Amino acid sequence: MKFPKFLAAAAVFYAVIMILSTLNILNGYFMIIINKSLIFVILAVSLNLINGITGQFSLGHMGFAGIGAYVSGTITAIILKLQIPHSFSMGAVGSEAIFIGAIIIGGIMAAFVGFLIGFPSLRLKGDYLAIVTLGFGEIIKTIINAIDYVGGPRGLSVPNFSNFTMIFVFAFITVAVIRNTIASSHGRAMLAVRENELAADLSGVDTTRYKVTGFAMGAFFAGIAGGLLAHLIYFTTPSQFGFLPSAMILILVYAGGMGSLTGSMIAAFLLTFLTEVLRIGIDWLNQTAKLPIGPEWTMVVYALILILVMLFKPNGLMGGKEAKILILERKTT
Amino acid sequence: MGSIINTQQVINGLQLGSIYALIALGYTMVYGIVRLINFAHGDFFMLGAYAAYASFYVFNSFIGEGSPLAFLVLIVAMIAGGAIASLSNLLAYKPLRYKPKLSSLVTAIGVSMFLEYFFSAFPFIGPSPRGFPEILPKVIYRGFGAEISNYVIIDLVVAAILMSGLTFLIQKTSLGRAMRAVSQDKDAAKLMGIDVERIITWTFAIGGAFAGAAGLLAGLTYPRIDPYMGIIPGLKAFIAAVLGGIGNVPGAMLGGYILGLAETFANAYNSILGDGIAFAVLIIVLLVRPTGILGEKIADKI
Amino acid sequence: MKPILSIKGMTHYFGGLKAVSNFNFDIPEGVIYGLIGPNGSGKTTTFNLITGIYTPTEGEITFEGKPIKGMKPYRIVQGGVARTFQNLRIFGAMSAIDNILVARHYTVKSGLASSILRTKSFLREEEAIHEEAMNLLKMMHLESRADEMAKNLPYGELRRLEIARALATKPKLILLDEPAAGMNPKEVQELMALIKQVRDDFKVTVFLIEHHMHLVMNICEYLKVLDFGETIAEGLPLEVGKNPKVLEAYLGKGGH
């Protein structure tokens, strides 16, 4: 099947970026943008699994990322304080393993919450499910805000353990796992749930199980992304995980095309780069033209992108299709 | 229990409930007529608050403080809410009217984001919260073991007047009849010569106007406004509408007051509970009686 | 011979409306049984009750000797009862063969983990169910459409696809809800032959709802007639066709 090709392309991408980075052609600033893009790939692809593939409209995705961020951040911060193992610090032997462990535990906790949220939400359709998931996201935010131990609204300081290799590997695994899931009988079951839940039920599919599975898997990877992000930008705060950030990921998925993993990946890169371009533009306008333009204008652009996509190209960039390299179906005729 | 449910809390609860009820009405009317949860509705509320803020300062130079100014500000807030609602409908929702429901929902999210960030980014409006002016001097009365400010009375009275006006409109006018017809069966209404799009526009406008009024009242009562102030109240007002029966006008009023009271009592006990109670109400309603208190079952033909 | 499906005293209310009244019914194994009656008489509701979409207010339903009332639909389907729908319920954005593969899903043993890791057993199973699905498509003369997106297929083909999908669940009893709806006379003829072939080749019992009297009279071995949720006649088609109550239900008082 096409998997080796995908692996090869990914390896090439990795090698190129590593080389350019080591040669300092791509400096630290640029690498942060690439790292952020990859993290958004994980977020977009995992949301696509819930919304696009299984057809469950979830608006609280960043809440899962928040759980991952706080759980993993707390673990690394504690271990750092306790100095286990000896001389545990960035780059020290064994620290990478602990970091990976913390990230994964963050993902598991997020998946657990996703599982819990999945159940009561199951009877709900479209609009109501959106509101309930939105509410859950806000509740998670409120709860974290109230926990003083992790800093409440001031946020949590997180050691900077994320690096390109780590993030890249996680992103690759995310896309590979989700893509392989979709290209299997289980994936078909999820798509059937999206297409016509009653017919899926009457074709022997345990729709409840697949809705919850979609939620839990999506939440798991979102939790991982949250952990990676927190360890990239040194901190995490509850405000990163409410409705508006979740809507951001939604924009990525819609712009790329519901159900298209390729679309989500492209959109993640495009929009992350666009954000930087806009930010530079705004800074420049502020300096030279002395216009008091705030950074929120980037978000205004995003909102407009979403509205325009929905009005004119509702299937997104990729129109719901996948690039050849990810294509799952074996042609039978 | 006495410290949680007492006269003061009841008064506060009714005050909060008035605001929720006004916002909830907009949600329920729009849902009743186009089966859309207008995510941006909470932002019309925000807009009303800002419009009130701006108009106060503009008109203050012409008219001195006092009731006429306050009345004018209320009118402006309502017009602003209604206008932005109609505009959103025209530009963003109408084109998607006959497309799958999800597209409208997502577009509504986009409109909501747009309004929040636009107001946040726009110079002179800005992301920082602003203190709302004292449009009418605050007077506090004491009695029955509680403090009642004239703001409470204003909130309750304005809400009552608007809600009675709406009830009159819906029951006794031809516009109201048309609105009821369209919400029952769009196609039948069309066949009877009703200009469905015009009715939809009016529904959005009225709902938006009520949200705008609520924005003014909220600014007055809890005098801190910011561009994101519509998100949580919007969510809660929606829950209130669901509680009362989404699509049901008296239901929205009932739901608003029940939620206002519940939240006030819960908050007195514990502030996290206060934030979470609306959400708990939503889960319970959806699991136990999804059509809400006054709602009706709509059967799905299988 | 024990009946494959046995219903006793089934009554169902929607709120205050009685949709089905005291429905009693035994289907012998291997027959083609027809359910007819004017629109709104409760036929589709009966199907919905049997397949677990609704739980009957009163009554018992027994399939192959086991009670199925109150079971979830997907469990009933896995137990051997399949159905098609009056208004097609196809997975539009999936290919024709994928539609069939979904119905085979419950028989797949590979878990999520082996699917993700692409184990040999996973690949073997995929191969096997693809072959079975293609066979079903061939039988329905749809094999050339296997990779077409279902929503692009013409109506008649979609009706056949739905039947194929129902058959893919390996049923012992298949409920067809107006399979001939919207078909022209030639298609109806082909459908009649198909239904008989399905019954013979797959050894299923067929229970169908239809309005096409030609089809009903020619392939059904037994008939049951509903009107306003009540059974007004049952038995051999020729007898039922002459029953005055049946004629009245369809044509109104005053005969024809």
pLDDT classification of B141: cutoffs 50, 70, 90: confident
Is C123 domain-assigned? no
B100 Rama class: left (phi>0) / alpha (psi -120 to 50) / beta: beta
pLDDT classification of A304: cutoffs 50, 70, 90: very high
Closest CA to A131 of B237, B34, B225, B81: B237
Indicate the average pLDDT of chain B: 88
**How many residues in chain A?**
333
CATH number at residue C177: 3.40.50.300
Residues of C in contact with B302 (CB under 8 A): 44, 48, 53
Please determine, for residue C64, whether its predicted confidence score (pLDDT) is greater than 70. Answer: yes
- Give the structural domain span for C160: 25-91+154-251
Please determine, for residue A181, whether its predicted confidence score (pLDDT) is greater than 70. Answer: yes
Q: Is C53 on the interface with B (CB under 8 A)?
A: yes
pLDDT digits (tens, 9 = 90+) for B153-165: 889 999 999 999 9
Distance from CA of A187 to the nearest CA of C (A): 9
Cβ–Cβ gap B287/A123 under 8 Å: yes
The whole-model pTM stands at: 0.89
CATH of A3-326, one of 3.40.50, 1.10.3470, 1.10.287, 3.40.1350: 1.10.3470
At residue A332, the pLDDT reads 43
At residue A39, the pLDDT reads 96
Q: Which whole number is the average pLDDT over C194-216?
A: 92
At residue B150, the pLDDT reads 86
pLDDT digits (tens, 9 = 90+) for A19-70: 888 877 778 888 889 999 999 999 999 999 999 899 888 999 999 999 999 9
**How many residues in chain B?**
302
Indicate the average pLDDT of chain C: 90
User: How many domains is chain C partitioned into structurally?
Assistant: 1
At residue C177, the pLDDT reads 95
Domain ranges of chain A: 3-326
* Residue with tokens 């095309």, as numbered in its chain: A257
Is C215 domain-assigned? yes
User: Which residue pairs, CB below 8 angstroms and at least 24 apart, start in B218-222?
Assistant: B218/B19, B218/B45, B218/B49, B219/B49, B219/B52, B219/B53, B219/B132, B220/B132, B220/B135, B220/B136, B220/B151, B220/B154, B220/B155, B221/B15, B221/B19, B221/B151, B221/B152, B221/B155
Q: Is A199 on the interface with B (CB under 8 A)?
A: no
Neighbours, chain C (3 or more CB pairs < 8 A) = A, B
Phi and psi (nearest 5°) for C59? Answer: 110, 170
Q: Is C88 on the interface with B (CB under 8 A)?
A: no
Q: Which whole number is the average pLDDT over A175-200?
A: 93
- Higher pLDDT: B123 or C187? It is C187
For chain A positions 240-259, those within 8 Å of chain C (CB to CB) are: 259
Distance from CA of A36 to the nearest CA of B (A): 22
Q: Which whole number is the average pLDDT over C201-212?
A: 93
Domain ranges of chain B: 17-230
Distances in whole angstroms, Cα of residue C68 to Cα of each of B98, C54, C81, C95, C166:
40, 12, 10, 32, 19
Neighbours, chain B (3 or more CB pairs < 8 A) = A, C
At residue C205, the pLDDT reads 95
CB nearest to C115's CB, from A1, A181, A333: A181
Cβ–Cβ gap B121/A293 under 8 Å: yes
Q: Within 13 Å, how many C-alpha atoms sit on residue A53's CB side? A: 31
Cβ–Cβ gap B106/A296 under 8 Å: no
Q: Which whole number is the average pLDDT over B210-215?
A: 96
pLDDT classification of C256: cutoffs 50, 70, 90: very low
Three-class DSSP category at C79: helix
- Nearest chain B residue to A57 by CA: give it: B102
Q: Is C44 on the interface with B (CB under 8 A)?
A: yes
Is C4 domain-assigned? no
Q: Which whole number is the average pLDDT over B263-272?
A: 86
- Nearest chain B residue to C48 by CA: give it: B302
Distance from CA of C44 to the nearest CA of B (A): 8
Residues of B in contact with A243 (CB under 8 A): 231
Contact B278, B235 (CB under 8 A): yes
Cβ–Cβ gap B299/C48 under 8 Å: no
At residue A333, the pLDDT reads 36
pLDDT digits (tens, 9 = 90+) for A57-78: 899 999 999 999 999 999 888 8
Cβ–Cβ gap B302/C15 under 8 Å: no
Q: Is C48 on the interface with B (CB under 8 A)?
A: yes
Indicate the average pLDDT of chain A: 85
Q: Which whole number is the average pLDDT over B31-44?
A: 92
Q: Tell me how many residue pairs between chain A and chain B have CB atoms under 8 A apart.
A: 118
pLDDT above 70 covers a percentage of chain A that reads: 91
Q: Which whole number is the average pLDDT over A289-307?
A: 83
- Higher pLDDT: C15 or B48? It is B48
Is C204 domain-assigned? yes
Distance from CA of B102 to the nearest CA of A (A): 7
Residue C121 identity: S
Whole-angstrom distance, CA of residue C217 vs CA of residue C207:
14
Whole-angstrom distance, CA of residue B261 vs CA of residue B175:
33
pLDDT digits (tens, 9 = 90+) for C157-183: 999 999 999 999 999 999 999 999 888
Residues of B in contact with A132 (CB under 8 A): 282-283, 286
